[in-house]
Amino acid sequence: MPITDAMVSEATRTLFSRALRKVPEDTKAALARALETETNETARRTLGLQLESANLAEKLDCFVCSDSGVPTYFVKIGSRADLACDFKAAIRAGYETLVETIDPPLLKHVTNPLTLERSHLGKDIPLVTYDVESGADYVEMVCSPKALGSGRWAALELFTFPSLEQIETFILDVAIKAGAQHCPPVVMGVGIGGSFDHCAGMAKKQTLRPVGEANPDPTLADMEARLFRAVNGLGFGPMGTGGDTTVQAVHVDYACGHGFTPVAVCFNCWINRRTRVRMWGDGRMEWGE
C-alpha cells in the first residue's frame, strides 16, 4: 500500500495547524533553563511570560501568535518509500483546505511582492523544499510557518577565501543588526559555503534542528558553543529589553564549494514553530516536533 495524496494533504493541514498552537518541548525546556541563569529581572519576567503563553495556547488550543506567517514545508522522500502521490498538487490542496476550514481563521499574510496585495494564497504558495533520503522507507514532512518578525532579519553575504574570523564577525554583526527585533530568544541558523542557494537552505534547515541536539561535527559543535556565548553576551535579552538570553541556540552547518564562500544567517523567533511527520506506505503517520 503506497503513501497517498490524502495522507500528504492531511499532513499539510495538520502540521500547519499544530505549529501555530504548540511551542516545541525542546524550546520550552530551553526557556526554562534560561530562566534559571538569567540575571536581568525584566528578562526573567519575560521568560516566565513566554512559558505561560506557550502553556496557555496548548491548554486553550489557540494560536500563540497572530502572525501565522507564510506556509513553508520541507519534504524528504525516502528512496525506498512506496509512493502513489503527486506531492505538489496534494500539498497545495491540503493547504487550500486548511485555509477554508481552520478554526480560528488565519489572517491574510501571504503577500504579492509586486503589488503588496495580501491573501492566503498566491504564486508558489506554499513554499516547499524537496530532498531525498537514501535508504529510508518513509516520507518526512516538516512545517515551519514563517512570520515577518523574525523572517526579515536573515542575511547572506559572499566572501572570497574568508578566514574563520571574518565569518564569525559577519555572524555576530547580523545578530547585532537584528538586535531586539526578532522576538528573542531566537534559534539562529547558520550556513557556510556551498553556493548561494545551497547556503541559504543550510541556514534555514539549521533553525529546524531541535534545540539541545548536539552537532555531530566537533568543529561545528565548538563553533556553536562559542557563538552561543557571544550572541548572548550582546545583552539584547528576551523581547529585546535587555538580558543574558538572546538565543536559545546557534546551529551551524557547512558545505564545500569554490573560493567564493557564502555565509547565511537566519532566525526563528522564540516560539520556534516547527512540526514534523513521518509517513509510511502502510498508512502510519508518526507526528513529532
Partner 1 sequence: MITEHDLTLPLTEAAVRAPRAGDVVYLTGEVFATAGLPTHDRLLGCLDGAESPPFNMAGGALFHLGSLNEDGDDGLPRIVYMNPTTSTRFDAHMPRLIPGLGLRATGGKGGLGADSVRAMAACGCVYLSFLGGGAPILTAAVRRVTGVGWPEMISHYRIVRLEVDRLGPLTVGIDAQGNSLYQQASDTARERRGALLDGLRA
**Binder to partner 1 among 174, 252, 269, 277 (CB under 8 A)?**
269
| Nearer to partner 1 among residue 143 and residue 231 (C-beta) | 231
**Binder to partner 1 among 76, 97, 198, 235 (CB under 8 A)?**
235
DSSP 226-239: HHHHHHHHT---GG
Q: How far apart are CA 279 and CA 284, in angstroms?
A: 6
> Taking CB under 8 A as the rule, does residue 108 contact partner 1?
yes
CA 223 → CA 8, 25, 192, 211, 266, distances in Å? 37, 25, 12, 15, 16
Residues within window 2-41 making contact with partner 1, judged by CB under 8 A? 23, 41
- Cell numbers given for 283: 498508512
CA atoms within 13 A on the CB side of 148: 7
Piece in contact with partner 1 (CB under 8 A), picked from 145-153, 197-205, 213-221, 248-256 = 145-153
Q: How far apart are CA 211 and CA 183, in angstroms?
A: 17
Q: How far apart are CA 180 and CA 150, in angstroms?
A: 10
Nearest distance, CB of residue 194 and partner 1, angstroms = 22
> Taking CB under 8 A as the rule, does residue 284 contact partner 1?
no
**Binder to partner 1 among 32, 89, 127, 176 (CB under 8 A)?**
176
Cβ atoms of 183 and 270 within 8 Å: the answer is yes
Give the helix/strand (H/E) hosting 193.
Answer: strand 186-193
Residues within window 210-229 making contact with partner 1, judged by CB under 8 A? 226-227, 229
| Nearer to partner 1 among residue 199 and residue 269 (C-beta) | 269
- Cell numbers given for 117: 496585495
Piece in contact with partner 1 (CB under 8 A), picked from 59-67, 79-87, 131-139, 253-261 = 59-67
- With H, G, I as helix, E, B as strand and everything else as coil, classify residue 188: strand
> Taking CB under 8 A as the rule, does residue 67 contact partner 1?
yes
- Cell numbers given for 212: 539541545
Piece in contact with partner 1 (CB under 8 A), picked from 49-57, 126-134, 187-195, 254-262 = 49-57
Q: Kindly list the residues in this chain that would bind partner 1 in the complex (CB under 8 A).
A: 23, 41-42, 45-46, 49-50, 52-54, 56-57, 60, 62-67, 104-105, 107-108, 118, 148-149, 152, 165, 168-169, 172, 176, 179-181, 183, 226-227, 229-230, 233-237, 239-242, 269-271
